[in-house]
Amino acid sequence: MTTHDPALFAGGLSAKLATRSRHVCGFLGAGTSKACGLPDVATLQARIKARLQGDELAAFIRITSTRNLEQALSRLRRIQAVVEAGDVVDGLTGSQAKDLDTVICRLIITELTTDQVNLDPVRNLAAWVARADYVKPIELFTVNYDSLLEQALESQGVPYFDGFVGSLRARFRTDMVEATSGDTDAWLPSFYARLWKLHGSVNWTWDTDAPIDQVVRLGSAIPAGELAAIFPSDAKYEESRRMPFVVLQDRMRRALNEPETLFLVSGYSWADDHLNELIFDAVARRPRSEVVAFCYAEIPPSLADKALKTPNLQVITQKEAIIGGIRAPWSRPESTTTLPADVWNDDQCHLGDFAQLATFLARSSSAPEASTQLTDAGGSNGS
């Protein structure tokens, strides 16, 4: 039967990471923060429900009966945007929807700013970024609201740009996000990593004093009573097409469409159809670019269906992989002692676990001489 060789895959991935001309990006979902001890979206929703009382609890149960937490926030913001005084939608007036939104955001910030976290996984990721010497800057995209990546990058002394300029009440600079290497007035050097938070952050809030509502990044978590700019609704998109969320998603689209891009995905549930479409469209139109999706558990059906038809979309799990359009289990290496535990242990490939992938990346190098003995990451055996 056909199997995939974990040693061949890991060696090929190392070789690709060692190519300085590559455009290397990471896309990080809630599983990466969960590896550090923070709750995923489902756990976060349960904890918020446990903290609410009375009418707020009843409204939260009602609005999340057919929605997850992020969809519920989007719904509350639509209600605020369209409901006129005195009208009621989903049992809420516009002011009640705003109050519940504020309470939920405050609870999210409380849950995500705890000190009880293990930063080792993100520090390993940052250690890799710190040593990277690519011609183009590393770009890290995330849908997480927490500040773990910022903490990790700063702990490793990595200079990075997140789209905002300033410290205490930083303003978003669309021109610098959209800049290319030819834009000398707005382009930052390649040794600056790019950190793009697609769904906002616990220290983003709305500046309502501006002529048009704008998002600003504060020097700390937002104060009580202010709305966090996290998981924006489409109502906000309609207010200004150039708000950070739209600009950052466009940055992801353009990053995916750069030639020779290596796009590593970890901890992502593949539940956001819009972001999925950006990725799937890019691998279909850019056959020389590659997306490698690392899954902690089973492969989501939509991802499996696309990977089986798109050879440059690879999917890696503990027990199986889809490589070159072929779905097959891993073969047991002839000598398991030659593979580090983050690649192979207990008859499983562990790179689907973000903590193990980060350890693997921490050992990686962008120096060409580090990969001369490695082969391509195809990885199929006929056995």
52/261 Cα distance (integer angstroms): 45
What is residue 370's predicted lDDT score, i.e. its pLDDT?
A: 43
Q: What backbone phi and psi angles, to 5 degrees, belong to 46?
A: -65, -40
Rounded Cα gap, residues 157 and 248, in angstroms: 24
| pLDDT (0 to 100) of residue 8 | 94
**Strand 380-382 versus strand 2-4 pairing type:** antiparallel
Residue 47, phi then psi, degrees to nearest 5: -70, -40
- Which candidate, 11, 380, 70, places its Cα nearest to that of 233? 70
Position 239 pLDDT exceeds 60: no
What tokens were used for 98?
A: 């705003």
Query: By mean pLDDT, which of 112-121, 223-232, 284-293 is the weakest?
Result: 223-232
Question: Residues of the chain with pLDDT > 90: what percent?
Answer: 64
Q: Does position 369 have pLDDT exceeding 60, yes or no? A: no
Average pLDDT, the chain: 88
Mean pLDDT, residues 18-30: 95
| pTM: predicted TM-score of the whole model, two decimal places | 0.90
120-131 vs 354-362: helix crossing angle, rounded to 10: 30
Residue 166 pLDDT more than 90?
Answer: yes
Per-residue pLDDT tens over the stretch 67-91? 888 889 888 988 887 888 778 889 9
How far is it, in rounded angstroms, from Cα 359 to Cα 101?
Answer: 38
- The residue ranges of DSSP E strands in 223-352, in sequence order, are 228-230, 261-266, 290-294, 313-316, 320-323, 326-329, 344-345, 348-349
Task: Flag whether pLDDT at 237 surpasses 70.
Answer: no
Best CA proximity match to 65, nearest among 40, 41, 87, 45: 45
pLDDT band at 378 (very low <50, low <70, confident <90, very high): very low
Residue 181: predicted pLDDT: 83
* Beta-bridge partner residues of 207: 214
Contacts of 186 (CB under 8 A, 6+ apart): 173, 175, 176, 179
pLDDT of residue 234: 54
CA atoms of 183 and 188, how far apart (whole Å): 9
For the chain, what percent of residues have pLDDT higher than 70? 91
- At 56, list the tokens: 């707020």
What's the average model confidence in pLDDT over 129-156?
95
Answer yes or no: are the C-beta atoms of 113 and 221 closer than 8 Å: yes
- On the CB side of 336, CA atoms within 13 Å amount to 12
128-137, 278-287, 332-341: segment of lowest average pLDDT:
332-341
Residues ≥6 apart with Cβ < 8 Å to 334: none
Q: Which of 296, 362, 369 is nearest to 125 (CA)?
A: 362
What is the pLDDT at residue 229?
A: 82
Between 158 and 183, the higher pLDDT residue: 158
